[in-house]
Amino acid sequence: MLEYVISGLLIIGAFFVLLGSFALVKLPDFYTRLHGPTKATTLGLGSLVLASVLYFTLSLEQANAQPLLIAVFLFISAPISAHMLIKVALHQKLPMTEKTANQNWQQQLKKPTNTDNS
């Protein structure tokens, strides 16, 4: 039974990593290209790490904290790095495609801000 659970987690993880890779290649602009791999690959790698933890802990009776630390680092660093890259792209006024849902960001970036502190 354990082999089926581990195999299922490996297949699900590989599917999401593959889905994130296709999103990186197929989506039209930087913003959507970054969104797909960040979400899908994080979920896929989390599933692969969980399968690794289950295998080594239950099958080989060998507890190891390294995969858990990898998963924690992944779940913390991937969204933060994606957020920082999106903020840089917005400040650089990287163009969006017409299909990008939140077009008001471009309009807000064009508005001059009031820096008068009197």
Whole-number Å distance between alpha carbons of 62 and 52:
11
Q: Is residue 117 part of a domain?
A: no
Nearest to 53 by CA among 69, 43, 70, 67: 67
Q: Is residue 116 part of a domain?
A: no
One digit per residue, the tens of pLDDT, for the chain of length 118 reads 889 999 999 999 999 999 988 988 888 888 888 888 888 888 898 899 999 888 888 877 877 788 888 888 988 998 899 899 989 988 888 887 777 666 565 565 566 555 555 4
pLDDT at 5: 93
The residues near 97 (Cβ < 8 Å, ≥ 6 apart) are 28, 29, 32
pLDDT at 113: 58
Whole-number Å distance between alpha carbons of 91 and 110:
11
Instruction: Tell me which residue range forms the domain holding 39.
Output: 2-108
Q: Is residue 87 part of a domain?
A: yes
pLDDT at 105: 59
How many domains in the chain? Answer: 1
pLDDT at 107: 62
Whole-number Å distance between alpha carbons of 10 and 70:
16
Q: Is residue 115 part of a domain?
A: no
